[in-house]
Amino acid sequence: MPLPKDSLVQCEIESLAYGGRGVAHVDGMAVFVAGGLPGDTVSARITRSKKRFAEGVAEAVLTPSIHRVEPLCAHFGTCGGCALQHLAYPEQLAQKNAQVAAALTRIGGVQDLVMDAPAGSPDIWGYRNKMEFAFEQREDGLHLGLREPTPEGSNRPGPVLDIDQCHLCAAWDVEIMVAVRQFCAATGVPAYNPATESGFWRHLVIRHAAAGEVMVHLITARDERKDNLIKDMAELFLQRFPELASFVHSTRVKRTTVAFGEKIVYSLGNAFVEERLARGEREVRYRLSPNAFFQTNTGGASELFGTVAEFCALSDTHVLLDLYCGTGAIGIYLAGEAGRVIGYEQSEEAVTKARESARLNGLTNCSFVSGSLEQGIPGFAGSGDQAVPDVVVVDPPRSGMHEKTAEALLALGAPRIVAVSCDPATLARDVKRLADRYHVTRVRAVDMFPHTHHIETVALLELRA
C-alpha cells in the first residue's frame, strides 16, 4: 500500500542510492530519503508516493550514524557542488563501490561479480583542477558562483550562490572568481539571461595544471562593443595574479547554459596550459585548450588511467583501439606500452589536440580519427581492411555507447574490452549489450569526485571461449 504523501515515517537508512539519497524500507516499501545517511534513524516526510517506492526528506535525525562528520564548508547544504561532505570519506567510498556492484548485478545481469577494492582519490580536498562558475542577474544585482541544488521535481537549474570559499578546488580559484565578480558587478553590465537572450556575462572557467599554470576562460554573449572591457580585465588580472598564464575570452550564442565557448575572440598569454601525469619513470604531457575536456582530478586521473593500463595488460606488439577518445588522454597514456594506438572521436577540435599531445610526447605510434561512431567503427567493423585490435578501450559519454557501436564491437570480437564509465547504470546497460560474446572478469570503482555522488568505474570484459 502506498505511503500517504506528507505523512511522517520513522526509518533507518540502510545505504545510499546513486545520486546521494538514503535508502530505507518502510512496511517492505523502498523509501529514498534526501538528507539521510547510512546508519541514521530519521523522521522523514513523504514527498512522493508510488506503487513500488516512495521519496521523502529527512526532517529530523533521531539517531545519527557513526559515519556522520562535520562538513568542512560553510556553504554545505546550500551549494549544490557537494552532497556528501557530512559522510566520512571511507564510508563514501564503500557506498559508491556498493552502488557500482548493485548496478552491474541488477541492471547488467552480471553473475558472481567480485569487485576489486575501490581506488580512493589521493586527495579528498583541493583536488579539482577545473572549476566552472555561473553568472546570474537578479533584482538585487549580478551574481557569480556555484548553483544551489536543483529544486525537487524541476529540470531548471538552481539559483547562483555567491560563494566565498570552496574546499574542492585551489584557494586561488575562489580568489580569482571573487575578483571577477567584483569587476563585472562594477561595470553595471548585466549577466546573460537565456530566457530573454539579453545580458552579457555567462560563465567563468578556471583551470590550473600540475605545473602551476592557471588559465582563466571568460565566456560571454556576443557584443563587440564590450571587447575593450574584456581587455582591461585581462591586463588587470595578469598583473594582479602572477600564477595566471592565460586569459581567454570566448563568446557563446546558443541559449543552453553550458560553459563552452563557441568562438574565441581574444586571448592574452598562453593559448593553452600543460597538464602532466606520472607514468612510471616518465611523465605524460597534455596541452589543454580552453574548451578541452580533461579529468578534473589530476591525482585521480593517474589512478583511473593506471587501472585502465592494468586491465589492458598491453605489450609492444598490441594494437589498441581507443573509442570516444576525446583529446586522446587515455590512448596517449597507454601508447608507451602498445605497438599502435588508434583513437576515434567525433570532435575535430579534440582530435587536433590529441595529435598535438602525441607530438608533444614524441609518440609516433598514435593516430586519431575524427568521425561519429553512431554507424559503427570506421576501418574495422565489417570492412576487413584492418586487423582485429588486441584491446579496445571505450570511454563513452554519460549516456553510454551508441547501439551501433555496441553491435560493431560484437562483430569485431577483440579479445579484451576495457570499459570506462562515469555512470554505473549506463555501464551496466552497455555490459548487458555485450554479454552474448563477453563476460566481466574485473571491475574497479575509482573515486574522482570525493564529497559528491559521482563515481568512475573501469570494467574488464573478455571474449567468451
Sequence ranges of the binding site for S-adenosyl-L-methionine? 295, 324, 345, 395
CA-CA distance, 4 to 210, in Å (whole number)? Answer: 53
Please state the residue numbers annotated as binding site: 295, 324, 345, 395
> Can you name the residues that pair with 147 across neighbouring β-strands?
160
- For the annotated catalytic residues, the residue numbers are 422
CA-CA distance, 91 to 105, in Å (whole number)? Answer: 21
- Report residue 347 as a C-alpha cell: 570532435
Q: Exposure of 216 by Cβ count < 10 A (0-12 exposed, 13-18 middle, 19+ buried)?
A: buried
- CA max distance for the chain: 68
Q: Exposure of 20 by Cβ count < 10 A (0-12 exposed, 13-18 middle, 19+ buried)?
A: buried
- Report residue 77 as a C-alpha cell: 547544504
- Residue 165 near residue 75, CB atoms below 8 Å: yes
- Report residue 178 as a C-alpha cell: 571573487
CA-CA distance, 276 to 305, in Å (whole number)? Answer: 13
- Residue 218 near residue 249, CB atoms below 8 Å: yes
Q: How many CB atoms lie within 10 A of CB 51?
A: 8
